[in-house]
Amino acid sequence: MALLITDDCINCDVCEPECPNQAISLGPVIYQIDPKRCTECVGHFDEPQCVQVCPVACIPVDPEHIESKESLWDKYRRLQAAGTPQERGADTAL
Ligand code: SF4
Ligand code: SF4
């Protein structure tokens, strides 16, 4: 599953640097999660790091992006092979 930031977000900036997949960025109004990059922290941590640090508990599972553990591992492996957006030098679609 990818996670989702709701409009309860207070733009505290705490979650963005904690994401091991660079899936979190500041959107037009609040922070947002790129479902193509969120593995629910599978491959990196036992628990979603953004959920751990969010002070207002506004990061639920995204019902539009329900995925099995297996597909999350596949996504993790794809991301590892592709490198970070910075390494690729562009926001290339995966
Ligand atoms: S669950 Fe993990 S991978 Fe997904 S946005 Fe949060 S910190 Fe990033
Ligand atoms: S930690 Fe929570 S409140 Fe803070 S920017 Fe992230 S989603 Fe928003």
**CB contact at 8 A, 79 and 44:** no
Q: Is residue 2 part of a domain?
A: no
Structural domain total, the chain: 1
Q: Is residue 66 part of a domain?
A: yes
10-58 pLDDT, tens digit per residue, is 999 999 999 999 999 999 999 999 999 999 999 999 999 999 999 999 9
Q: Is residue 70 part of a domain?
A: yes
Q: Which of 8, 47, 48, 11 is nearest to 27 (CA)?
A: 11
Rounded mean pLDDT, 81-90: 70
Q: Is residue 4 part of a domain?
A: no
Cα–Cα dist 4/31, whole Å = 10
pLDDT number for residue 2: 87
**CB contact at 8 A, 69 and 42:** yes
Q: How far apart are the first and last CA of the chain?
A: 17
pTM of this prediction?
0.89
Q: Range of 20's domain? A: 16-85
How many angstroms is it from 83 CA to the middle of ligand 1?
16
Q: Is residue 22 part of a domain?
A: yes
How many angstroms is it from 70 CA to the middle of ligand 1?
16
Choosing from 7, 14, 19, 25 the residue with most ligand 2 atoms within 8 A of its CB, the one to mutate for a pocket test is 14
